Each structure stands twice: as structure tokens, then as C-alpha cells.
Chains A and B, each alone.
Chain A
């Protein structure tokens, strides 16, 4: 697969691959190898685009018809509800795709802001977005060194460790959830979280003036606790695991009129994950990769990436969906991967025990749908042990300069297994979903990255160390 520019007509001196800023053609859009340079530039650009649009009185239409049960199809109004009262299935946003088709094009998307909101027509809000205006459109990095190390031809890292206010893909879903919560008139937002979501809700809710209640398991990584506390939320550590926290939050959501982003706002929140898939397809030049490996906690991200690809196809934005999706989980918590590998139609809840705490959901809400998506795509699943997770984190850092948290270690370790076992052919294109930043889970690798070399502040001391270490030191790859 050759990276190519999206075909698009040149319009009025504005190249299909460039961005308009204050009426001037000034910057080239990052497609492949999307470099991180000029991020501030893009932020300003997003703002100015927004300003331009409101000056033009451009009307943003809502394409959201209502909610619909994923199981029995019963329809509901677009409110803060999430369970079908008839069959207990989960509710999903019901869009008017015919209207979207008339209002969307590759060019229109390419001209949008450098954030998830370039896909505004496919996101479940009625008006203008109000939260997370700078979230997303993260780099799709062509990982040449890592590809060479693994012996594969074409490997990409979808790098969600950067370009997010709180450095994980959760900013995608929270941006949508809080924009919707505001539309629904809530003044308090809340969530049950394994950490990344806590950081994201705490930050975005602070920015948008919401009261905030964040519920986490008591044994989270300290970095994730601190990175929530700094935004001054009501942070509540529950003595139990994530599944206990979640169950409690379901009860609280029934009692208080709060916007629980992943409970009663979940139908809207979950749609934000689609932007991960949209970006991959757009950045590959409006096509999907042959293989995509995705970590799974609740299974929602994987499910929504698959939905994103199918929506792009349905809307004529891509010609085909040829991707196989793979579910990556940690050995110590793999209810979805287990069901996929055993071709089981049921998912057996487990009690999690893994260093990949952001994936430690023993009773995954979207497990069924993730499993269905994997089967429909023709993919499969893999599991990674704690040591493999640590090694993969280090490998990604030393080959591509990307520091991922444990979930990314799981994904890369599983990718390596799928390549080595021949499931993913070495001459086909692979995208690895790296969903969060490694600075959040430093403890997991603290004992496996070595120590700095200590010297006196003199050339003599330096050179003696140099001589001594020269033979031992591994040359940088």
C-alpha cells in the first residue's frame, strides 16, 4: 500500500492537502508520518477556522435522530438514557445517514479543524462542540525502524499518546460526552474510571465549568491519581476493583441527576471513539489498513473503530473495508480475547490481575460487540504477559521514540505475537493502536529500564566511565 494524498479537487487556490488560515494557504497538512511539529500552529488554526465559520453564519445541522436499542431496535428520544427498557440491550445513537451523505465529503473533512471535530457530522451533538476543541487528529506514524525490527513491510503507530489534553484516547470520548452533557443541561459530570478517563473528565470538566465526581479503584497508579487531583475534582477511591466501582456508579447514576459519561451518557460518549478509526482511514489516504490491532478493556474502542470504517464505506468516503481487527488483552484480564480464541458466544467475567490497569475490566460492557466486530472482520485475538508488556513498551520507545503506557505495551506485544505466528502476514499493512502516554504508568517499568551512569563533574571521570562502559553498552539501534 502506497501512502497517497487523498484525491480531491483543487479549489480556489486551496490545495487539497493544505489548510486555510485567515485566508492564506500557509501550512501543509500532516498525513502519513504526521510529524508533531507545529502543534500549536494547528491549535490556532482550529480556532481561526471556528471563528471563520461562525462569522459565515454557517449552520451546523444535527444528524442525530434519537437513540436506538442495539439488540431489539426499539427507538428512544436522545436523552440521558442508556438501557432499553424492553430487552435490556444497550442504546446507541441513531443517525440520519441519508442527510449526512448529502453533507459530507473528503474535501469538507479535510478543510475542518485539526481535531476530532473535523468529523462533526458523524458525532452525536446537536449544536457546536463546546468541550475538547483541541482533542485528537493524532499522528499516524510510519514506524520504519520498528517495522524493520519485526521484519514487516508496512507498520504504522496510531499515536494517541500525544495531541490530547490528558494524553490518552479518552479525550476523544470525553470531548463528545461533555459537549453532549452541556446540551442536555447537566451541571455535574461523573465517571467510573481505570485512570485515563478520570484524568480526562477531571480536566475537561474543569475547563468547561462542571462540578465533577470521579470514581476510581483504590489501587490505581499514583501518576493517574495525581493527574486527576490537579484539576480539583471530587476524587473518590472505591475499595474494590473497576467492576465494583462501575456497579456503584450505576447505582449512583440512578439516584442523582448527574451526567455519568460512561453510564447514562454512554451512548454519546462511546461515539467519540469512532474518531480514532476515521483518522486512521483519512491519514492512510482514505483507505483502511489490512490489519489493525487494538487494545480492549470494555471493548468499546475496537467496536467503534469497526463502526467508523463501515460508516466511511457506507457514506462513500472509502471504497472498501478490507481490515482485519485484532483484540489485544493482558493475560491477567482477557475475557474478550478468551471468548474470541475459544469461538465462544458468551463472555465469562474474570477478576483482573495485570500491570495493564487501564485494561483491567473483568466484566466488559461491550465485550459482545467487540467479539462480533473481530469475527465480522476476520481477525482474532492475542494475549500478553506482564513481562512481554514491559518489553514491548521499551521496544516502542527505543525504535520509534514513543513512550506508551501499559495498554500500548499490551497492544504491541500482541501485535508481535500475531506477526510471529504468521496470523498477520509480513508483507501487509498493519496499524497498531497506541492509546495512552507512558508517563502515566512509570511504575510498571521502573525496575526494567536500568539506571543512569553516575560520574564526577570532570572529563577524567567521564572518560574513565566511557572506557569502562564502551564494551558493555548496547549501541543505539
Chain B
């Protein structure tokens, strides 16, 4: 399965400055492993020691937060778009890889 992954600016150093990469995976877990294989060092930025997605990293499958799907076990299929987005937007991290309008509304903020 070929899935398109949008990479946030602070992680683009690990993807040769590519905003989007294609990976072969069946689940989010598999996708993270595939990313790590192609771009070593990226997994520890996205996941904690237990391999769970960090609290302040949001992963969206198309427009839905995977926390409200099957979390890391969520299945992905050909043509899906997965976005990795830091929960706290802004500052030097404002330039995420052009998330959609729907996604923008979901990005966590401060008050």
C-alpha cells in the first residue's frame, strides 16, 4: 500500500527537506517503522520509549485524528494521506506541510 505522509517542518531535516514522502504500509505502526527505515531518527521524535505516539504529536489519517480511530493500529490503504502535526503550532514550527482547512481546525492551540 502506498501512503502519502506529510512531514512537519521541524522533522524535514530528517527527510532531506521533503514535505511529503511516500511509504509502503498497512497500519500507522507499519508506517512509522517504514519512515524510520527510510529516515533514521524520525521514530524517536514521533514516538516515546514505549513506541506510542507522543502526546503532543498528532497524526491524522486523511482528516481524522488516529486517537479516535484505532490509534497506532489504524489501518491505512492506497491513496490515503497521513499528516504528522505537532499539537502546539506556531513559532518556528508554524510551517507544517500545508495541512488542509479541515485539519487546521483541529490543530491544538493555547489559550
Where the two chains meet, the residues of A that have a C-beta atom closer than 8 Å to any C-beta of B are: 71-72, 81-90, 192, 194, 197, 242-244, 246-247, 249-251, 253-255, 262-264, 266, 297-298, 300, 345-346, 348-349, 351, 361, 363-365, 368
Distance (Å) between the CB of B98 and the closest chain A CB? Answer: 13
Contacts of B57 in A (CB 8 A): 87-88
B37 within 8 A of A: no
Shortest beta-carbon distance from B86 to chain A in Å: 4
- The answer for the CA separation of A187 and B93 in the assembled complex, in Å, is 23
Contacts of A351 in B (CB 8 A): 105
B residues 91-111 touching A (CB-CB < 8 Å)? 91-94, 104-111
Instruction: Spell out B's residues near A (CB within 8 Å).
Output: 10, 45, 48, 54-57, 65, 67-68, 86-94, 104-111
CB of B106 within 8 A of CB of A71, answer: no
Tell me, rounded to whole Å, the shortest Cβ–Cβ distance linking A196 to chain B: 10
Contacts of A266 in B (CB 8 A): 110
**Complex Cα–Cα for A266 and B108 (A):** 15
How many Å lie between the Cα of A395 and that of B57 in the bound state? 43
Which of A88, A255, A346 is in CB contact (< 8 Å) with B88? A88
**Nearest chain A CB to B46's CB is how many angstroms away?**
9
In this complex, what residue of B is CB-closest to A344?
B67
Q: Separation in Å of the B88 CB from the closest CB of chain A?
A: 5
Closest-CB distance, B14 to chain A (whole angstroms):
12
Q: How far is the CB of B101 from chain A (nearest CB, A)?
A: 11
Report chain A residues within 8 Å CB of B56.
Answer: 71, 84, 87-90
Can you show 6 pairs from A to B with CB atoms below 8 A apart?
A83-B91, A253-B91, A346-B65, A363-B108, A364-B111, A368-B55
Distance (Å) between the CB of A88 and the closest chain B CB?
4
Residues from chain B with Cβ under 8 Å of A71 in the complex: 54-56
Nearest opposing residue in chain A for B85, CB measure = A88
Tell me which of B90, B104, B110 contacts A254 (CB under 8 A).
Answer: B90
Q: How far is the CB of A63 from chain B (nearest CB, A)?
A: 25
Cα A14 to Cα B89 with chains together (Å): 52
Q: How far is the CB of A304 from chain B (nearest CB, A)?
A: 13
Q: Which residue of B lies closest to A80 (CB)?
A: B91
Residues of A close to B10: CB separation below 8 A:
85, 88
Check if A348 sits within 8 Å of B91, measured CB to CB. no
Contacts of A243 in B (CB 8 A): 105, 109
A363 & B109 in contact (Cβ 8 Å cutoff): yes
| In the A-B complex, the 3 residue pairs with the closest CB atoms | A250-B90, A298-B111, A246-B109
Distance of A300 Cα from B111 Cα, bound (Å): 8
Please, how many angstroms separate the alpha-carbon atoms of A253 and B92 in the complex?
9
Interface pair A349/B106, CB less than 8 Å apart = yes
Residue in chain A with minimal CB distance to B56: A88
Q: Is there an interface contact between A247 and B104, defined as CB atoms closer than 8 Å?
A: yes
Q: Pick the contact of A242 from B45, B68, B94, B111 — CB < 8 Å?
A: B111
B111 → A minimal CB distance (Å): 3
A264 touches B91 (CB 8 A): yes
Cβ-defined partner of B110 (8 Å) among A87, A251, A262, A368: A262
Question: What is the bound-complex CA distance between A443 and B1, given in angstroms?
Answer: 55
Asked if residues A263 and B91 are in contact (CB atoms below 8 Å), the reply is yes
Give Cα distance in the complex from A89 to B56, angstroms.
5
Shortest Cβ distance from residue A358 to the other chain B in the assembled complex, whole angstroms: 10
Known contacts: A247-B104, A250-B91. The answer to whether A365 contacts B54 by CB under 8 A is no
B87 proximity list for chain A (CB < 8 A): 88
Decide yes or no: A298 and B90 within 8 Å by CB, A87-B54, A87-B56 being known contacts. Answer: no
Complex formed: what's the CA distance from A81 to B90 in Å? 11
